[in-house]
Structure 1
Amino acid sequence: MSIDYEREYNNRARVPENPGIIASWASDSAAYREQKPPRVVRYGEGERHTFDFFEAGDGPAVMYIHGGYWQALDKSFHSIHARGLNARGISVAVPSYDLCPNVRLGDIVENIRAACLVLARETGQPMVVSGHSAGGHLAACMLATEAHVPAAYAISGLFDLKPLIPTTLNGALRLDDEEAENLSPLFWPAPEGKSLDAVVGEVESGEFHRQSDDIVRAWGENGVSTRRGEVEGANHFTVIAPLTDADSEMVQRLAELAKGVR
């Protein structure tokens, strides 16, 4: 049976209430920035090459990379997703990055590499890289290639980009078969000795569950310490809500990872 990739990956169509959820991210984030103003750190020369650094302790930080299929949103929507970890004394960096179609997806990977390097210099320590959707892809890319990233926590990540080619999402991404494969961490050498958590919302599409299943299996068979999780009742947008709660299982696990990379 053929898979309707448009239906599987078009999350805004799957979750019609998404505009209200995204609007709440923006308003809650603005309120959190007023309560806890971040330090803005530049990692490159472009307008979007900064991250907000919500400092809360001297230990290793967590970087949280936003989603939006590499073509939407910015760091201002996600300040609120630093709150849970901050309450546990863990600093969080939330970067913006260039978006497609203004750049190629590979350029975005390089943006985040630069951001990670600057964060490592700021803290003098390794880090955990977390991310949602497209940010989950970027988190896995960092785990695979960056020595100062020993652990990643991917939420509803995309690790095999080839299924996106026949969808409307590819209008901005402009991926062909070769580029999609080259930018898919599922097909990269597994980062042996490192740690990957892959978490998906319970009611997300079968393809999002498959994506996480596949990388947990492939990397787990090749020396990566992998964990697969689900957020009960969550869709593609509500799956990151636990990041706002210091007592959530998600935040507890991220805190455990951060303390473990000291």
Structure 2
Amino acid sequence: MASEDLDLEAEYNNRARVPDHPTHIAGWQRDAAAYRETARCELGLSYGPGERHRLDLFLPQDGDTGRPVVLFIHGGYWQGLDKSFFSHLARGANERGLTVAVTNYTLAPAATLGEIVSEIEDASDFLVRRTARPLVATGHSAGGHLAACLMARPDPQTMSVRAAMPISGLFDLPPLVPTSINRALGLTLEEAHRLSPLEWAPPSSGHLVAVVGGAESSEFLRQSRAIADEWGKAGVTTRYHEVPGAHHFDVIAGLADPADPLVDILVGLSAEA
């Protein structure tokens, strides 16, 4: 739970916290487009009827190890960006022999957050059917929330995500309600509680590594620590991992580098999933 003394707008408005964020976002777009030019990939696969029900599949150049597929879910506070900004983040795992899917979902306000969670479940189910493999779910910011939702999914028939690496994830949503971030989301306090993975029955097993940038706000640090602590008590093998000196927009950069610790974590999770 957030402290009542905190300035929640300052804690959660990452674009205001990192003034040069447009440079980072432009870099993502450039590097993602360059990777799509050379990668082995299947682009625009449809997992549902909607315009944004699409995902891209990136395959290892030297052959797949047969391990679980990594599903990356992009951030943007559920209301911005799309998969085309993040293709390059498949590179690190691809070069370690893992197949990576990067998915879209309908953005708020065109979809409610509850509907977005359901769409990500549909994308997950599509991938499992297509590949006949379990998944390792990862995602950045809002995508970290959705990755945790997949792992905590209550339906016992769809236990396809037993490992996750949320990066700068959001698991306790009520602090967002009074901020500018909620204008597009339109969350009531009741909905924020209902859609918070920290308030769900946690998984009783599996593996989760909660990643966050060392230079992020105290609330982002708290949220990652909280899910590692709470799920760890329930029987999940958890770890809290800070990327030294990283802020909200460069914390994901290591995913493009096969030698980076974040890719090491994904490879380790893929062996456990």
TM-score between the two structures when normalised by the length of structure 2: 0.94
Q: CA RMSD in A?
A: 0.9
Q: Does 1:68 align with 2:79?
A: no
TM-score between the two structures when normalised by the length of structure 1: 0.98
Q: What amino acid does structure 1 have at the position aligned with 2:129? A: R
After TM superposition, give the deviation of residue 253 of structure 1 in Å.
1.1
Partner of 2:122: 114
How far, CA to CA, are the matches of 1:128 and 1:170 in structure 2? 29
Partner of 1:87: 95
After TM superposition, give the deviation of residue 55 of structure 1 in Å.
1.6
| Match for residue 201 of structure 1 among 197, 210, 213 | 213
Q: Does 1:178 align with 2:190?
A: yes
Runs of 4+ in 1 over 4 A off after TM superposition: none
How far, CA to CA, are the matches of 1:21 and 1:188 in structure 2? 34
Residues 220-258 of structure 1, C-alpha deviation per residue, up to 9 Å, x if partnerless? 111111110000110000000010100011101101111
How far, CA to CA, are the matches of 1:8 and 1:37 in structure 2? 39
How far, CA to CA, are the matches of 2:22 and 2:246 in structure 1? 16
Ranges in structure 2 where 5+ consecutive residues have no aligned partner: none
Q: What amino acid does structure 2 have at the position aligned with 1:123? A: T
After TM superposition, give the deviation of residue 260 of structure 1 in Å.
2.4
After TM superposition, give the deviation of residue 37 of structure 1 in Å.
4.7
How far, CA to CA, are the matches of 1:37 and 1:110 in structure 2? 29
How far, CA to CA, are the matches of 2:182 and 2:205 in structure 1? 34
Residues 115-172 of structure 1, C-alpha deviation per residue, up to 9 Å, x if partnerless? 0001111111111000000000000000001400010101000000000000000000
After TM superposition, give the deviation of residue 62 of structure 1 in Å.
0.2
Partner of 2:7: 4
How far, CA to CA, are the matches of 2:270 and 2:228 in structure 1? 20
Residues 25-76 of structure 1, C-alpha deviation per residue, up to 9 Å, x if partnerless? 0010000000115213210011110100002213311000000000000000
How far, CA to CA, are the matches of 2:168 and 2:265 in structure 1? 16
Partner of 1:124: 132
Q: Does 1:227 align with 2:231?
A: no
Q: 1:16-95 alignment to 2 at 5 Å?
A: 16-40=19-43, 41-56=45-60, 57=64, 58-95=66-103
